[in-house]
Structure 1
Amino acid sequence: MNLTSQYASITMSLELFQSNKPLALESGEYLSEFELAYTTYGNLNSDKSNVVWVVHALTGDSNVTDWWSGLIGEDKFFDPSDHFIICANLLGSNYGSTNPLSINPGTREPYYYEFPHITPRDLANSLERLRSHLKLEKIHTLIGGSLGGQVALEWAYSLGNKLENLVVLASTAKSSPWVIGFNETQRMAIESDCTWGEKSEFAGLKGLETARAIAMLSYRHPSDLQKKQLDNDHRLDHFKASSYLRYQGQKLAKRFNALSYWVLSKSMDSQDLGRGRGGLESALQQIEARVLTVGVNSDLLFLPEESQFISKHVKRGTYKEIQSTAGHDAFLIEFDQLSYLLQSFYLEKN
């Protein structure tokens, strides 16, 4: 499907990659075949040196102009008139890629709860299949935040000198007990839904609403809620913060499903770049690309020091920090700061 840009020479295309070769997973399981929905925006230059590959976060999709319009688009930092921008919907997500509601080739029924455990390394390996299919020998910039940053970091390890620049936003090389704990409480909320366990695309949706509300508390900072959700009267009930969290839960449940949320949150928990590679420091030393890690001073989920750890132990690392009251989600909001940090990173000489 081709979507017409406001400039005739710039095209956006939504495509589907189908792999019939089994994908071996870290768990010992495998996917006998899989599909990845992906969006490209802009055109390759003559030597294919202008590839910008974006990896979305937990509930994102492949259309980066929907959720990162302040950074990607005409006259934005990553302009499709200069860059060939690509983003694939991650395995497990329900925006066109193989996920728990997809048909299991072995049973001819949806996977549902039998969908295999997938890690950020598995997700990176699926993206590598797509890169090879597209014959993209070099990636100028690989960028991702949160779960997307975990996947980008795993992929950068295996890409070697095929990748020039890696940008990891509000993420980590190994998920902390804090992150795992937040994710587990969300899955507990899904489990408490009486429909969880049913073989239905609607299973666990009320639980997903609660899970999202819990997540929002980790994505924001108390000062942000104080600024935006404070009640200026003396009410006894129906507080702005209560309405806000309920709204966010309902909003996600309308566009996502609990099974995909379960699978991808489990994937986030399992992040450990050093697994089987001699530990984190040793693994980070193997990344050949220039690396920019960006922390958020108010991030309560992925702490700034986790981003600093990455930049400290890679061969060519730089750490920058977004100043914001927004918390973890600042990497999706503070476009001006992020554009400035990216520009300064590209201008730096190694």
Structure 2
Amino acid sequence: MEFLLSPREFTMIEHTFHSEEPLVLESGQVLKSYHLAYTTYGLLNPDKSNAIWVVHALTGNSHAAEWWEGLIGDGKFFDPASHFIICVNLLGSSYGSTNPLSVNPDTGQSYFYDFPQLTPRDLAASLEALRIHLHLSQIHTLIGGSLGGQVALEWAVELGKKLKNAVILASTAKTSPWVIGFNEAQRMAIESDPSWGSHTPEAGKKGLETARAIAMLSYRHPGDLKKKQTDTEEKLEDFRAASYLRYQGQKLAKRFNALSYWTLSKTMDSQDLGRNRGGAVAALQCIEARVLAIGVNTDLLFLPEESQFIAENSKRGQYKEITSTAGHDAFLIEFEQLSALLTSFYQE
């Protein structure tokens, strides 16, 4: 499949990649077939050197220009007028790629709770299959944050010289007990929903609302909630912070399903870049690309020192930091700072 550049022809295009090649997972399980929904912006230039591959976070989708509108789009840092931008909905997610609600070819019924365990390395392997399908021999920049950063790191190890730059935002080479604990609390909330265990797309929906509320506490910083959710009048209940968390839970439950959330949160927990590679340092040393690890000074989920570790142990790594009151989600919000950091990185 070829995407060659025509003047001013840089519209968004949605695609689906169908693979009949089995994907052997780290768990030993096998996806006999799968599909990936992906979106492209812009077109490849003649020497195919302008590919920007974006990897979304836990509940993201392939429409990167929507959830990262400050960074991607006409006149933005990654401009489809000059870049070929691709973003894939990760396996397990509920935005078009194979996920727990998809049909299991062995049974003819939806997977539901039989969907296989996935790791960031498995997700990277599926992206590699798509890269080969697209005959994309080089990637200028691979960029991802949080879970997307974990997947990008895994893929960067395998891409070797096919990758020029890797940008890893607010992420980690190995998931900490702190993050696993937050994720487990969220899954416990989903388990407590009486509908969890039923074979319906709505299973665990109310539990997912609670899980998202728990997650939001890790995505934000106490100072940010104080700044934005403090009540100005005296009261005994109906606090702004409480309403905010309930709203965020309901908002996610309307667009995502609990089975995908369950699957991808466990995927995040399983991240260990050094597994079967001699440890994290040895794995990071295998990355041939230039690596920019970006932390957030107020991140309570993936701590800045975890990004520093990535930079310090990559052969061609450097660390930069976003300063924000927003906490973990600053990598999605502080696009002006991010653009400046990227500009500096490319110039160096």
Query: What is the TM-score of this pair, normalised by structure 2?
Result: 0.98
Partner of residue 3, structure 1: none
Equivalent residue number for residue 55 of structure 1: 55
Cα offset for 1:242?
A: 0.3
1:270 to partner: Cα distance = 0.1
1:296 aligns with 2:296: yes
Among the aligned pairs, what percent are the same residue?
72
Number of the residue aligned with 2:273: 273
Shift of the alpha carbon at 1:8?
Answer: 5.7
* Deviation string, structure 1 residues 247-291 (Cα, Å, up to 9, x no partner): 000000000000000000000000000000000111100000000
> AA paired with 1:115?
F
Q: Distance in 2 between matches of 1:250 and 1:63?
A: 21
Shift of 1:65: 1.2
Separation (CA, whole Å) in 1 of partners of 2:260 and 2:77: 31
Alignment-mate amino acid for residue 106 of structure 1: D
Secondary structure, in 3 states, of the residue corresponding to 2:255? Answer: coil
Question: What is aligned with 1:150?
Answer: 150
Partners of 1:175 and 1:19 lie apart in 2 by 29
Retained in 1: the 8 A contact 2:296–2:328?
yes
1:205-258, CA deviations, whole angstroms, 9 ceiling, x for partnerless residues? 000000000000000000000000001111000000000000000000000000
Distance, in Å, in 2 between the alignment partners of 1:256 and 1:9 is 32
| Structure 1 partner of 2:313 | 313
Structure 2 unaligned residues grouped into runs of 5+? 1-6
Q: Which residue of 2 aligns with 1:171?
A: 171
Q: Helix, strand or coil: the match of 2:140?
A: strand
Structure 1 position 82 matched with structure 2 position 110: no
Contact 2:293 2:308 in 1 (8 A): yes
CA distance in 1, matches of 2:180, 2:242: 24
Which residue does 1:195 correspond to in 2?
A: 195
Task: Report what 2:35 is aligned to.
Answer: 35
> How far apart are the structure 1 equivalents of 2:43 and 2:342?
21
User: Structure 1: how far apart are the matches of 2:14 and 2:340?
Assistant: 29
Query: How many positions carry a matched residue from both structures?
Result: 342
CA–CA distance in 2 between the matches of 1:95 and 1:284?
31
Which residue number in structure 1 is paired with residue 246 of structure 2? Answer: 246
Q: Does the CA-based 8 Å contact 2:8-2:81 persist in structure 1? A: no
Instruction: State the distance in 2 between where 1:281 and 1:145 align.
Output: 20
In the superposition, the TM-score normalised over structure 1's length comes to: 0.97
Q: Give me the whole-angstrom Cα distance separating, in 1, the residues matched to 2:329 and 2:191.
A: 26
> Equivalent residue for 1:4?
none
1:178-189 correspondence to structure 2 within 5 Å: 178-189=178-189
Shift of residue 10 of structure 1? 1.5
Q: CA RMSD in A?
A: 0.7
SS in 2 for 1:104: coil
Paired residue secondary structure (1:99) = coil
> How far has the Cα of 1:316 moved from its partner?
0.3
Aligned to 2:72: 72
